[in-house]
Amino acid sequence: MAIYCLTVARLQLALGQGVRRMHVSAAFNAKAKVSMSRFEPSNYVNYEKLNENVNIVRKRLNRPLTLSEKIVYGHLDDPVGQDIARGRTYLRLRPDRVAMQDATAQMAMLQFISSGLPQVAVPSTIHCDHLIEAQIGGAKDLARAKDINAEVYNFLASAGAKYGVGFWKPGSGIIHQIILENYAYPGVLLIGTDSHTPNGGGLGSICIGVGGADAVDVMAGIPWELKCPNVIGVKLTGKLSGWTSPKDVILKVAGILTVKGGTGAIVEYHGPGVDSISCTGMATICNMGAEIGATTSVFPYNHRMKTYLEKTGRGDIAALADDYADLLVPDAGCEYDSMVEINLDELKPHINGPFTPDLAHTMADIGATAVKNGWPLQVKVGLIGSCTNSSYEDMGRSASVAKQALDKGLKCKAAFTITPGSEQIRATIERDGYTKILGDVGGMVLANACGPCIGQWDRRDVKKGEKNTIVTSYNRNFTARNDANPATHAFVASPEIVTALAIAGTLDFNPEVDYLTAANGEKFKLKPPSADELPKLDFDPGQDTYQHPPAEGGSKLWVDVSPTSTRLQLLEPFDKWAGGDLEDLQILIKVKGKCTTDHISAAGPWLKFRGHLDNISNNMLIGAVNIENDGVNKIKNQLTGEYGGVPDVARHYKANGLSWVVVGDDNYGEGSSREHAALEPRHLGGRCIIVKSFARIHETNLKKQGMLPLTFQNPADYDKIRPDDKISIKGLATFAPGKPLSTVVKHSDGTKDEFQLNHTFNETQIEWFQAGSALNRMKELQ
């Protein structure tokens, strides 16, 4: 049932629906053009075009629009003719820009090179943040990363220069913080090759995580496809106070919607409670929306965003956004597909985990729950920062807690690390004294990079397999994600809660009610943290770490990839569909339970091979649980009868001309946007992935690489499949949108099962499959 939006869009007043909109272009036609960013002075914010498209679509649909719809439909390639139906049709969109982090940019740029195009068609950037391992501290870790990753950094810098892509050097900061500080603005449509790209929604942007092949489409000037999202409304009332933070909003939402509750939808926050949240706090909430499977999340334009734009040197964009304010908020009376309501006055501090980000607890309950479940109470390490929580406000609130402990003669009982989100944040918190406070309480400042959040952590305080607890202000806490130890119980909370727990050293400490013991034996309670939302002085930009593409273009530049490199490898086209059904595919592995992209293509030490498809494929599905034996990376080779690692068996099948299929459970491929989780199965001979349900980005990535992502029409059919079965996919000669395919499952005892498999392919995506990949199809059309 449709839910009506209660937010009244500003500036509509008595003029009624659409009257002011019809004249807004003319009213501001004479205004000076405003650049999208200081790095691209000749690319301009185009609210006039956005407004024009929104008016066309609103008139066609004859109803008020949500903010999500305004921004998405406002970027339609054909607003007049595009079929628009939430949750059903595929939209062809024209994003404003592309952002890529260094681990995924390698494959994206390799694919762009394969396209044969001379320059990117839209503003694009590369951000070096994923390849820096946390070991002994920021400066030394950064120097080490520059040395061991020199080949990759040189490739990305030279490819950026040749093809017109801006390059943020290692040490710049985390991609999402850089985007918020420089590129996001209200109404922009940005795609990024990282699942936490939605962070930009805190600045009123629609920022969507994608695989590298999607980025190549946009950089090539091809309309980008997105299944028309549903819109989930989250109405916020009341206001944040005390120990409750923006992080608690998304921790609560994750507990309500679960890791797949947002799949296929944009989460749109609205209501009077929004104004009590800072711009960077809104970004935190949008960032972790990836953990509920949402396409993205967004907040309406307000004074908190305006202040942030002004403080980050973009007052001209803020002024223009003010002129178009009614375009950048939901229409009065707009409808949501479902609604969640949260009273911020009643929201309590949360902590989620372990092993999944949707297992929500209040701080009041976590201690008893941990004891009941046998989770270790001792906090070994507290880690704050990451792309989710590394703003000036976050660091200030954490320093506020740390200062209280220092004043009572206390330091952290747990190890404590701090990850600044950007060079600008690092320099500013150092200038303003936060770094010293956090260091004095026992913290170690890491490099401006992802670090332990993505498994780039050389952790040495516990042995692999040793049961222990860590608390982080990160976004994900899947098994072994942070430190490669499957026995680590990782919990996610706000930075100030993490800081308090690191000081107390125990998971059952609730700072709202519990006491600490000062050095002199006095009992005391921590006061709720307080800090400035933004620095009183201007931000200190720190070191200049940006490389502009050459003004004269890159036609005379050369990008070299050594044929003997172990880090980089030029791509060869995948084979085309042979024209018939897929017969007798061998089951490689029947996966049991949760299978994220971390299970399919692990990060951590494997990140160094992200530009070399054959080498990175040696990690394919090594984290997935085999239903046959509950083992990890141990499957039976049906040709030899011997057990081996998943990639080894896949390579053996490929060498013997045997194509294979993977069978999986619910929400298969949740987590990161990494397209390697799709490229690797294709490279090693896979043809099809059959599961109960997919996560959005992974399903699209599989299609892009010529794989068949299919779902059981009846989820119970999963139980009919045995690990040694052979599967045939029937109906490919008449493969069509909305028409199920059928399968014949042959069992080793001579019996068989037949049932239907669903798919979400549209006509264009079927062409990708037939051509062997989306990149193959692009080259066919050139």
What is the set of active-site residues?
A: 129-130, 194, 476, 672, 674
The Cα diameter of the chain in Å comes to: 80
Distance of alpha carbon 72 from alpha carbon 265, whole angstroms: 12
Q: Mind giving me the DSSP string for 476-488?
A: --BTTTTTS-TTE
What letter represents residue 569's amino acid?
A: Q
Alpha-carbon separation of residue 562 from 110, 155, 584, 586, 613 (angstroms): 13, 10, 38, 35, 14
Query: Pseudo-torsion of CA 93, 94, 99, 105, nearest 10°?
Result: 70
Alpha-carbon separation of residue 293 from 87, 261, 421, 514, 675 (angstroms): 14, 7, 23, 35, 16
Smallest Cα–Cα separation from 308: which of 496, 124, 539?
Answer: 539
Q: Mind giving me the DSSP string for 618-643?
A: GGBTTTSEETTTTEES-EE-TTTS-E
Identify the bridge partners of residue 338 per DSSP, sorted by sequence position: 232
Distance of alpha carbon 294 from alpha carbon 232, whole angstroms: 9
Q: Is 361 helix (H, G, I), strand (E, B) or coil?
A: strand
Neighbouring C-beta atoms of residue 8, cutoff 10 Å: 12
Q: Cis (ω within 30 of 0) for the bond into 354?
A: yes
Distance of alpha carbon 593 from alpha carbon 521, whole angstroms: 49
DSSP state of 414: S
Q: Is 91 helix (H, G, I), strand (E, B) or coil?
A: strand
Note whether 735 and 771 are within 8 A (CB): no
Structural element, H or E, at residue 686: strand 686-691
Q: Mind giving me the DSSP string for 24-64?
A: HHHHTTTSPP-EEETTEEEEE--HHHHHHHHHHHHHHHTS-
Distance of alpha carbon 264 from alpha carbon 260, whole angstroms: 9
- Give me 534's structure tokens: 């933004």
Identify the bridge partners of residue 225 per DSSP, sorted by sequence position: 92
Distance of alpha carbon 256 from alpha carbon 360, whole angstroms: 9
Distance of alpha carbon 495 from alpha carbon 504, whole angstroms: 14
Distance of alpha carbon 353 from alpha carbon 190, whole angstroms: 30
Beta-sheet strands, E only, within 500-614: 516-517, 523-524, 546-547, 582-590
Note whether 220 and 322 are within 8 A (CB): no
How many helices and strands in the chain, by DSSP H and E?
24, 36
Identify the bridge partners of residue 729 per DSSP, sorted by sequence position: 582, 743
Distance of alpha carbon 105 from alpha carbon 227, whole angstroms: 24
Note whether 98 and 125 are within 8 A (CB): yes
What phi and psi values does residue 457 have, to the nearest 5 degrees? -145, 115
Distance of alpha carbon 218 from alpha carbon 123, whole angstroms: 10
Residue linked to tokens 């309406």: 300
Q: Mind giving me the DSSP string for 249-302?
A: HHHHHHHHH-TTTTBTEEEEEESGGGGGS-HHHHHHHHHGGGGGTBSEEE----
Alpha-carbon separation of residue 583 from 23, 314, 396, 637, 744 (angstroms): 60, 58, 60, 19, 9
Structural element, H or E, at residue 711: strand 708-712
